[in-house]
Each structure stands twice: as C-alpha cells, then as structure tokens.
C-alpha cells in the first residue's frame, strides 16, 4: 500500500509537461505575499485592538487573526516547496498534509467571519433601532467563537472521515465534494447575496439620512455607522473579487472529480487558473490592511497614533543609548 505522504511530496521528474510543473517564481510570489501578510495582519491586529467598542471591529479582529494564521501557513508551504528537490505539480500544492490542512482551516474561518460581518452590517443598516439587541457585543463574541469552534470541529471530523474512508472511492469522493462546498463555495455565495442586499439598504439609508434633522450627536453616530458600512462593503467586495476565481476553479474540479488520471483532471487552462487562484487567495488574506487604513478614518487615526508612539519610543531609545 502506497504512503499518501510519499505521493504528495515525490513526483516523477521524467516526462512532466511544462504546464504541469509549478514555476519557482510562483513560490517566491507566495513567500513574499505570506511575509507581507504576516506583517500587515499584525499591524491590523494592533490597530483594531484600539477600536473594539464597535462590534464590526470585533468581527474584523477575529477575521484578521485567521488571516494572520493563513499567511503563516502560506509562508511555511512556500518555503517547504522551494527547498524541495523534487518537481512539484500544481495539484500537489494543496495536498492532504498537516500544514495545508491548517491553511484551509484558517481560510474557512476567515471566509465565514466575512459572512458574519455582512450579516451584522445588514442588520444594523436595515434595523438600526434593534441593532443593539440583535448585534450586541456579547452575541457577536459568541458568534465569532462559534465560527472558530464549528470550522475546527467540522474539519477535524471531515479529515477523520477521509482517513477512515480513504479506500472506499465513492464515500471518499463524496467527502471531497462536501469540503469545498461548505467552506469555500457556500460562504462565497452567501457573501455575494448579503453584499448586494447591504449595498441596496446602504443606498436607502443614505437617502433617508439626508432628510434627518441636523443634530451634532446624531450626525456623528450616522457618520460612524456609514463609515463602518462603507469599510465592510469594500472588504466584502475585495473578498468576492479575489475568491470568485477560486470558486470557479472548485466547480471545475468538482465536475472532474471522478476522473482517474490526474493529468486529465488538470488541463492547461485549469493549471493556469490554479496559479491565479492561489495568488488571489493570498492577496485576499493580505490586502485588507490597505482597505482599513484608506477607507476608515478611525482605524487610520489609530494606526498613525500607534506608529507615532513607536517612533517616539525608538527615538528615545537611540538618544538614551548615545548618551
């Protein structure tokens, strides 16, 4: 019986078509994005930790932690494959191995956190008077915790069933259908629907806000909520754009699931799509920092404030060491 890990990490170097092999440049790009994502998500965590009075920031913080873990595992995967002496094929990048399982686990947590954020913002915009009840800080914390627990628990159960049914082709294929649908395709579809609904409700709320009586306190609250909704819309749009190719790739892969020959399952166009989806998926878990800083004045202020404190501390340390 062949070892599944030897199938993952070793390939035949002879007679491999060029479009089946992964270029070293791809791993360099993934390594760069992983490193950049680690740095930017740490900055995100520091910035969001200063603004946890709003429930949306709590959700963004939970999503950022998952993004950080995705980038750490992405960095490790790229380093491992760069140092591997064997030729790597595109469909070996996401094998059934521990580190890739962790990456997909953390990515699924980030995906469902995006769904939670879209749901909460839609409730706040649609039912502003009842939002404090439906989207209370305690309920949001519980929801974030449930996302982590359910994603981890379901995927542990999923891979345990895969290991148990590995020799039974029909059950194994059925499980491989369930995973991308539950953790990638479904959250993407739900986010798409919720984002469209949020965009419609946000336009209606903006039109109503113009007719409100001018009150300084009310204006500040409306501006803060509009700012949070606008930031959420940009984040969700970025998620949809960067994950849509992955969903298309997963649908193509599911359609070819029962093909025995791996090279037939992965034609040239699918290889190209796989490379594109890997890069875009990495960008999704890396680029939210730029959205938060450019679109949200509160987060931008927090970041500049923290940066100024660090700069002052560094300058003071240099002055003290030179004396």
Mean pLDDT, range 65-78, rounded to an integer: 91
Give the model's confidence band at 59: pLDDT under 50 very low, under 70 low, under 90 confident, else very high. very high
**Residue 286 has which token pair?**
């890396």
User: Looking at residue 65, what is its pLDDT?
Assistant: 96
pLDDT greater at residue 205 or residue 34? 34
Q: Is residue 172 part of a domain?
A: yes
Q: Which of 162-166, 167-171, 206-210, 237-241 has the highest mean pLDDT?
A: 237-241
Q: Is residue 9 part of a domain?
A: no
What residue has token string 């791809």?
26
**Residue 225 has which token pair?**
């909520």
Q: Is residue 212 part of a domain?
A: yes
Residue 168 neighbours by CB under 8 Å, 6+ apart: none
- Measured CA distances, 225 to 3, 116, 165, 217, 232 (Å): 54, 17, 49, 13, 10
Answer for the pair 93, 278: CB distance below 8 angstroms, yes or no. Answer: yes
Give the model's confidence band at 8: pLDDT under 50 very low, under 70 low, under 90 confident, else very high. very low
Q: Is residue 38 part of a domain?
A: yes
pLDDT greater at residue 270 or residue 135? 135
Sign of the Cα torsion 198, 202, 204, 209 reads positive
Give the model's confidence band at 1: pLDDT under 50 very low, under 70 low, under 90 confident, else very high. very low
Count the domains in the chain. Answer: 1
| 3-state DSSP assignment of residue 89 | strand
Q: Is residue 323 part of a domain?
A: no
Cα separation of 127 and 84, whole Å? 54
pLDDT value at 290 more than 90? yes
In SS3 terms, 165-176 reads as: CCCCHHHHHHHH
Q: Is residue 8 part of a domain?
A: no
Q: What is the pLDDT of residues 211-230, one digit of tens each?
A: 554 444 456 667 777 888 89
Q: At what angle do helices 137-164 and 98-126 cross, to 10 degrees?
A: 150
User: Looking at residue 260, what is its pLDDT?
Assistant: 46
User: Residue 126: which CATH number?
Assistant: 1.20.1070.10
Q: What is the pLDDT of residues 138-158, one digit of tens each?
A: 889 999 999 999 999 988 888
Give the model's confidence band at 26: pLDDT under 50 very low, under 70 low, under 90 confident, else very high. confident
- The percentage of the chain sitting over the pLDDT mark of 90, rounded to a whole number, equals 30
pLDDT value at 270 more than 70? no
User: Looking at residue 137, what is its pLDDT?
Assistant: 86
Cα separation of 247 and 108, whole Å? 13
Nearest CA among 34, 30, 32, 68 for reference residue 48: 68
pLDDT value at 254 more than 90? no
Choice among 43-47, 165-169, 284-288 with the minimum mean pLDDT: 165-169
**Residue 187 has which token pair?**
């959250």
pLDDT value at 125 more than 80? yes
Cα separation of 256 and 252, whole Å? 6
Cα separation of 132 and 118, whole Å? 16
Q: Is residue 187 part of a domain?
A: yes
Mean pLDDT, range 289-310, rounded to an integer: 87
DSSP string covering 130-180: THHHHT-HHHHHHHHHHHHHHHHHHHHHHHHHHHHTTT-HHHHHHHHHHHH
Cα separation of 33 and 261, whole Å? 32
Domain holding 91, by residue range, is 19-303
């Amino acid at each position: 019986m062949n070892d599944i890990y030897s199938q993952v990490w070793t390939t035949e170097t002879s007679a491999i078509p060029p479009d089946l092999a992964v270029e070293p440049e791809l791993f360099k790009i993934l390594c760069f994005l992983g490193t950049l994502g680690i740095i930017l998500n740490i900055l995100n965590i520091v910035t969001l930790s200063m603004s946890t009075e709003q429930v949306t920031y709590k959700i963004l913080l939970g999503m950022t932690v998952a993004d950080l873990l995705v980038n750490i595992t992405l960095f490790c995967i790229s380093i491992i494959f760069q140092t591997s002496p064997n030729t790597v094929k595109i469909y070996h990048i996401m094998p059934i191995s521990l580190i890739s399982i962790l990456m997909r686990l953390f990515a699924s947590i980030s995906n469902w956190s995006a769904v939670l954020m879209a749901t909460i913002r839609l409730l706040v915009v649609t039912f502003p008077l009842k939002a404090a009840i439906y989207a209370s800080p305690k309920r949001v914390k519980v929801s974030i915790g449930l996302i982590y627990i359910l994603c981890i628990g379901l995927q542990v159960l999923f891979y345990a069933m895969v290991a148990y049914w590995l020799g039974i082709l029909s059950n194994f294929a059925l499980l491989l259908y369930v995973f991308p649908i539950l953790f990638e395709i479904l959250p993407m579809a739900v986010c798409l629907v919720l984002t469209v609904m949020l965009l419609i409700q946000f336009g209606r709320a903006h039109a109503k806000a113009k007719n409100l009586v001018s009150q300084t306190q009310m204006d500040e609250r409306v501006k803060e909520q509009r700012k949070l909704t606008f930031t959420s819309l940009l984040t969700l749009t970025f998620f949809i754009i960067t994950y849509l190719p992955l969903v298309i790739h997963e649908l193509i892969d599911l359609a070819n699931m029962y093909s025995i020959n791996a090279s037939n399952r992965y034609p040239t166009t699918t290889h190209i799509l796989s490379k594109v989806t890997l890069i875009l998926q990495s960008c999704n878990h890396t680029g939210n920092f730029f959205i938060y800083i450019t679109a949200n004045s509160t987060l931008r202020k927090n970041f500049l404030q923290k940066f100024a404190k660090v700069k002052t501390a560094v300058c003071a340390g240099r002055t003290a060491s030179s004396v």
